[in-house]
Chains A and B, each alone.
Chain A
Amino acid sequence: MSTSITSESIVVPDARRRRLLAAIATLEEREREPRVRLALAEAEFRLAVTPGTDPTEAIERIRRAITHDPFLPKLYLHLGRLLQRSGKYRPAVHEYRHAIRLAPSNRRAHLLLALALLELDDAEQALGRTLLEGVSRDSAEDLRTAVADLDALFRQQRSGGAAKSAKGKTPPRPVPTGKQSDDARSSGIWRLSLIEQLSRSKPIRRQIDAQLQTGAARAADEDGGVEYATACLLLLATGETVNQTRALMKTAGLDRRPPDAVSAVLDAALDLAAIEGPAAFVATAAGHAERGTLPPELVCWLHFSKFGPACALGADTVLRLLDDYPESFRRDGCFAELKLAVLDEYARAAWASERFDRAKLLWQEAAALDPYRVPLAINLALLATRTRSREDYASAWARVAELLYLHAAGAGDVQPLLEERRALHLVLSQQGRQRHCPASSAQDLPDRKQLVDWVADTDTFEIWLREWDLYYLNVRLSFRSPVHVLGVPRDASDEDVEAARDILLRHLGDALADRPWAGIAAFRDLAEDKIADAFERASDGVERARDPYYEVEKPDADALAEEALGRGILLRNVVLALVGRGRAADLRIGCAIARHEFTLPWLALKPICVGRGLIDERIDLVKLFEGDLAALASRCVDPEPRSPKDWSARLGALDECQALLPNSLDIRWLRCEALDGAERAEDAYAAAVEALEVPIPDDDKDPDHTRILRAHLVTLIDNIALLQLPEPLRQPRNVETARRTLQEGRILLSHFPLSGALRAFLAEVLLQLGEKPHLDEAAELLREGRDTALDPDQRARFDEGLARALAAQMSRDRLDEVEMFVEPAMDRVEKAIASFKRAPSRTSSQLVRDAVTDAIVSVSTAIEVTETAELPHHQVSSLRSTLSKLRELEHKFSTYQEY
Chain B
Amino acid sequence: MFMIDFDAESHYSVLGVAPTATAKEIGQAHDRLVRELRERQRREPENRQELEGREKAVNAVGDELKRPARRKQYDKANAHLRFYTVRVAAAPMFTDAADLVAVLHRAIGAQLARENVRLAPVSDLDRADFRADETPNALLDELLG
Is there contact, CB below 8 Å, between A441 and B97?
no
A298 at the A/B interface (Cβ < 8 Å)? yes
B60 at the A/B interface (Cβ < 8 Å)? no
Find B101's partner among A198, A337, A394 (CB 8 Å cutoff).
A198
B142 → chain A, closest Cβ, in Å?
9
Is there contact, CB below 8 Å, between B108 and A295?
yes
Residue of B nearest to A308 (CB): B94
Residue of A nearest to B3 (CB): A393
Q: Which residues of A contact B73 (CB under 8 A)?
A: 441
Find A230's partner among B119, B128, B134, B145 (CB 8 Å cutoff).
B119
Q: Which residues of B contact A631 (CB under 8 A)?
A: none
B9 at the A/B interface (Cβ < 8 Å)? no
From B29-37, B38-46, B48-56, B110-118, give the one contacting chain A.
B110-118
Is there contact, CB below 8 Å, between B90 and A112?
no
Is there contact, CB below 8 Å, between B97 and A43?
no
Question: Which residues of B92-145 have CB atoms within 8 Å of chain A's CB atoms?
Answer: 93-95, 97-98, 100-105, 107-112, 114-125, 128-130, 133-135, 137, 139-140, 143-145
Is there contact, CB below 8 Å, between A226 and B100?
no
Describe A's contact surface by its main secondary structure: helix
Is there contact, CB below 8 Å, between A51 and B128?
yes
Report if A351-B86 is in contact (Cβ < 8 Å); known contacts: A192-B123, A233-B104: yes
B67 → chain A, closest Cβ, in Å?
16
Q: Mark A361-403, 1 if CB is under 8 A from B, else 0.
A: 0010010000001111011001001101010011000000000
Report if A340-B91 is in contact (Cβ < 8 Å); known contacts: A49-B130, A230-B109, A393-B1: yes
Is there contact, CB below 8 Å, between B88 and A344?
yes
Q: Which residues of B contact A738 (CB under 8 A)?
A: none
Is there contact, CB below 8 Å, between B119 and A304?
no
Is there contact, CB below 8 Å, between B101 and A195?
yes
Is there contact, CB below 8 Å, between A430 and B78?
yes
A379 → chain B, closest Cβ, in Å?
5
Cα distance A394–B4 in the bound complex, in angstroms: 11
Q: Which residues of B contact A393 (CB under 8 A)?
A: 1, 3
Is there contact, CB below 8 Å, between B119 and A423?
no
Q: Mark A438-479, 1 if CB is under 8 A from B, else 0.
A: 011110000000000000010110010000000000000000
* Size bracket, chain A contacts: 35 or more
Question: Which residues of A285-304 have CB atoms within 8 Å of chain B's CB atoms?
Answer: 292, 294-298, 301, 304
Cα distance A378–B90 in the bound complex, in angstroms: 13
Question: Which residues of A210-244 have CB atoms within 8 Å of chain B's CB atoms?
Answer: 223, 226-227, 230, 233-234, 237-238
Is there contact, CB below 8 Å, between B3 and A23?
no
Is there contact, CB below 8 Å, between A42 and B2?
no
Report if A340-B125 is in contact (Cβ < 8 Å); known contacts: A42-B137, A427-B80: no
Is there contact, CB below 8 Å, between A226 and B137?
no
Residue of B nearest to A387 (CB): B6
Q: Mark B62-102, 1 if CB is under 8 A from A, else 0.
A: 00000000000100011110111011111101110110111
Find A19's partner among B79, B104, B109, B144 (CB 8 Å cutoff).
B144
Is there contact, CB below 8 Å, between A431 and B133?
no
Is there contact, CB below 8 Å, between A348 and B2?
no
A27 at the A/B interface (Cβ < 8 Å)? yes
Q: Which residues of A contact B91 (CB under 8 A)?
A: 337, 340-341
Cα distance A74–B124 in the bound complex, in angstroms: 12
Question: Which residues of A3-52 have CB atoms within 8 Å of chain B's CB atoms?
Answer: 19-20, 22-23, 26-27, 35-36, 38-39, 42-43, 45-46, 49, 51
**Other A-B pairs, 6, CB within 8 Å; known A203-B97, A431-B5, A431-B80:** A49-B134, A81-B124, A238-B100, A264-B115, A378-B87, A385-B4
29 A-B pairs (CB sep. < 8 Å): A42-B137, A45-B134, A49-B134, A108-B124, A111-B123, A188-B120, A195-B102, A195-B105, A198-B101, A199-B97, A199-B98, A199-B101, A199-B102, A223-B120, A226-B112, A227-B119, A230-B108, A262-B115, A265-B111, A297-B104, A341-B94, A393-B3, A423-B79, A427-B79, A430-B77, A430-B78, A430-B79, A441-B77, A459-B1
Closest 9 CB pairs of A and B: A375-B87, A199-B98, A341-B90, A261-B115, A295-B107, A341-B94, A375-B89, A297-B107, A39-B139
